[in-house]
């Protein structure tokens, strides 16, 4: 009876809700197995401690770091604004 209650653990990953064959293949490659139990027993190999924030001056080449930054301008917005300005100019010229 107990083994029947745990039978779902040996089911394929694709039987999980929201997991199709393509995603199951990706998960299987990542966790090293194709069953639900393989996913449950997959443990991370390392981690990044994001609690410590460094300044740009403290960074070293090749290391992983977490920076807190403020985005003040993006190129995408400049592009959108420029296109809008061009369209407004063209619209004015047509009138």
Q: Which of 24, 64, 22 has the alpha carbon at shortest distance from 46?
A: 64
Token pair for residue 19? Answer: 């997991």
List, for residues 28-85, the tens digit of each pLDDT value. 999 999 999 999 999 888 887 778 877 778 878 887 878 777 767 666 666 666 666 7
Token pair for residue 37? Answer: 């139990």
Measured CA distances, 39 to 11, 22, 23, 26, 69 (Å): 11, 16, 13, 12, 35
d(CA 46, CA 49): 10
Per-residue model confidence (pLDDT) at position 33: 93
């Amino acid at each position: 009876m107990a083994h029947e209650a745990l039978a779902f653990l040996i089911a394929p990953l694709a039987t999980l809700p929201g997991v199709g064959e393509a995603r199951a293949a990706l998960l299987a490659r990542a966790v090293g197995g194709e069953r639900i139990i393989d996913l449950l027993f997959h443990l991370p190999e390392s981690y990044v401690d994001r609690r410590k924030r460094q300044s740009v001056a403290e960074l070293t080449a090749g290391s992983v770091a977490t920076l807190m930054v403020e985005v003040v301008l993006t190129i995408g917005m400049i592009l959108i604004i420029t296109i809008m300005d061009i369209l407004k100019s063209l619209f004015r010229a047509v009138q």
